[in-house]
Protein backbone atom coordinates (compact mmCIF):
# COMPACT_ATOMS: atom_id res chain seq x y z
CA UNK A 1 0.00 0.00 0.00
CA UNK A 2 1.37 3.41 -0.99
CA UNK A 3 0.43 6.44 1.08
CA UNK A 4 0.67 9.85 -0.57
CA UNK A 5 0.26 13.28 1.00
CA UNK A 6 -1.37 15.65 -1.44
CA UNK A 7 -0.34 19.29 -1.44
CA UNK A 8 0.23 21.83 -4.21
CA UNK A 9 3.66 22.54 -2.69
CA UNK A 10 5.89 19.49 -3.28
CA UNK A 11 8.32 20.39 -0.50
CA UNK A 12 5.50 20.78 2.03
CA UNK A 13 4.01 17.47 0.86
CA UNK A 14 7.39 15.79 1.37
CA UNK A 15 7.75 17.30 4.84
CA UNK A 16 4.26 16.06 5.73
CA UNK A 17 5.11 12.61 4.40
CA UNK A 18 8.23 12.53 6.60
CA UNK A 19 6.10 13.56 9.58
CA UNK A 20 3.60 10.77 8.81
CA UNK A 21 6.44 8.23 8.53
CA UNK A 22 7.76 9.40 11.90
CA UNK A 23 4.24 9.16 13.40
CA UNK A 24 3.83 5.57 12.18
CA UNK A 25 7.22 4.62 13.64
CA UNK A 26 5.63 4.80 17.09
CA UNK A 27 3.01 2.17 16.22
CA UNK A 28 4.41 -1.14 17.45
CA UNK A 29 2.38 -3.21 14.94
CA UNK A 30 3.78 -1.15 12.04
CA UNK A 31 7.46 -1.09 12.99
CA UNK A 32 9.60 -2.27 10.13
CA UNK A 33 6.62 -2.33 7.76
CA UNK A 34 6.95 1.20 6.34
CA UNK A 35 9.57 2.72 4.08
CA UNK A 36 9.85 5.98 2.22
CA UNK A 37 9.91 5.93 -1.57
CA UNK A 38 11.92 8.79 -3.09
CA UNK A 39 11.52 10.57 -6.40
CA UNK A 40 14.16 9.97 -9.04
CA UNK A 41 17.25 12.15 -8.72
CA UNK A 42 18.02 14.44 -11.62
CA UNK A 43 21.57 15.18 -12.67
CA UNK A 44 23.11 17.78 -10.37
CA UNK A 45 20.71 17.13 -7.46
CA UNK A 46 21.85 15.85 -4.08
CA UNK A 47 18.79 13.64 -3.59
CA UNK A 48 15.12 13.24 -4.39
CA UNK A 49 12.26 14.23 -2.13
CA UNK A 50 10.21 11.46 -0.57
CA UNK A 51 7.04 11.06 -2.63
CA UNK A 52 5.31 8.08 -1.02
CA UNK A 53 5.28 5.96 2.09
CA UNK A 54 5.03 2.25 1.30
CA UNK A 55 3.42 0.24 4.09
CA UNK A 56 3.09 -3.55 4.17
CA UNK A 57 -0.18 -4.40 5.90
CA UNK A 58 -2.24 -7.51 6.15
CA UNK A 59 -5.95 -7.78 6.72
CA UNK A 60 -6.89 -7.51 10.35
CA UNK A 61 -4.65 -6.10 13.07
CA UNK A 62 -2.06 -4.11 11.15
CA UNK A 63 -4.71 -2.71 8.77
CA UNK A 64 -6.73 -1.45 11.72
CA UNK A 65 -3.64 0.05 13.37
CA UNK A 66 -2.66 1.80 10.12
CA UNK A 67 -6.17 3.16 9.57
CA UNK A 68 -6.45 4.56 13.10
CA UNK A 69 -2.92 5.99 13.05
CA UNK A 70 -3.34 7.76 9.70
CA UNK A 71 -6.73 9.24 10.61
CA UNK A 72 -5.37 10.42 13.98
CA UNK A 73 -2.33 11.95 12.25
CA UNK A 74 -4.60 13.84 9.82
CA UNK A 75 -6.72 15.10 12.75
CA UNK A 76 -3.58 16.49 14.44
CA UNK A 77 -2.49 18.59 11.43
CA UNK A 78 -2.81 22.35 11.75
CA UNK A 79 -3.23 22.74 8.00
CA UNK A 80 -5.53 20.91 5.62
CA UNK A 81 -3.96 17.62 4.62
CA UNK A 82 -5.20 14.88 2.34
CA UNK A 83 -3.67 11.42 2.56
CA UNK A 84 -4.32 9.07 -0.33
CA UNK A 85 -3.85 5.30 0.00
CA UNK A 86 -3.21 3.64 -3.37
CA UNK A 87 -3.21 -0.07 -4.16
CA UNK A 88 -0.95 -1.47 -6.91
CA UNK A 89 -4.13 -1.83 -9.02
CA UNK A 90 -4.68 1.93 -8.81
CA UNK A 91 -7.67 1.74 -6.48
CA UNK A 92 -7.47 4.56 -3.96
CA UNK A 93 -8.96 5.84 -0.74
CA UNK A 94 -8.63 9.48 0.28
CA UNK A 95 -8.60 10.72 3.85
CA UNK A 96 -9.65 14.36 4.00
CA UNK A 97 -11.32 15.26 7.28
CA UNK A 98 -12.38 18.81 6.38
CA UNK A 99 -15.95 17.75 5.59
CA UNK A 100 -16.25 14.78 7.93
CA UNK A 101 -18.41 14.83 11.05
CA UNK A 102 -17.50 11.30 12.21
CA UNK A 103 -13.77 10.46 11.98
CA UNK A 104 -14.47 6.99 13.44
CA UNK A 105 -16.59 6.21 10.37
CA UNK A 106 -13.58 7.14 8.20
CA UNK A 107 -11.44 4.72 10.23
CA UNK A 108 -14.00 1.96 9.60
CA UNK A 109 -14.18 2.69 5.87
CA UNK A 110 -10.38 2.86 5.60
CA UNK A 111 -10.04 -0.45 7.49
CA UNK A 112 -12.50 -2.04 5.08
CA UNK A 113 -10.50 -0.69 2.11
CA UNK A 114 -7.23 -1.99 3.56
CA UNK A 115 -8.66 -5.38 4.49
CA UNK A 116 -10.55 -6.35 1.36
CA UNK A 117 -8.99 -8.20 -1.51
CA UNK A 118 -7.92 -5.95 -4.38
CA UNK A 119 -10.43 -5.87 -7.21
CA UNK A 120 -9.68 -6.46 -10.84
CA UNK A 121 -10.19 -2.74 -11.55
CA UNK A 122 -8.07 -1.09 -14.18
CA UNK A 123 -5.26 1.11 -12.76
CA UNK A 124 -7.07 4.33 -13.62
CA UNK A 125 -10.34 3.28 -11.96
CA UNK A 126 -10.30 4.62 -8.41
CA UNK A 127 -12.77 4.44 -5.58
CA UNK A 128 -12.30 7.71 -3.71
CA UNK A 129 -13.78 8.34 -0.31
Residue-wise pLDDT tens digits, 61-97: 788 899 999 999 988 887 788 899 998 889 999 998 8
pTM, two decimals, is: 0.79
For 6-62, the pLDDT digits (tens) are 888 888 888 999 999 999 999 999 988 999 988 776 666 655 677 889 998 876 678
User: How far is CA 75 from each of CA 9, 43, 107, 114, 118, rounded to the nearest angstrom?
Assistant: 20, 38, 12, 19, 27
Q: What pLDDT shows up at residue 50?
A: 78
SS3 116: coil
pLDDT value of position 7? 84
Amino acid sequence: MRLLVEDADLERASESLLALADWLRYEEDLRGKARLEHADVDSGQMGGLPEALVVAVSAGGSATVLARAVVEWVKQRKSDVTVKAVRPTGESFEIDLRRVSDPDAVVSEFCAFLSREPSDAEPDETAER
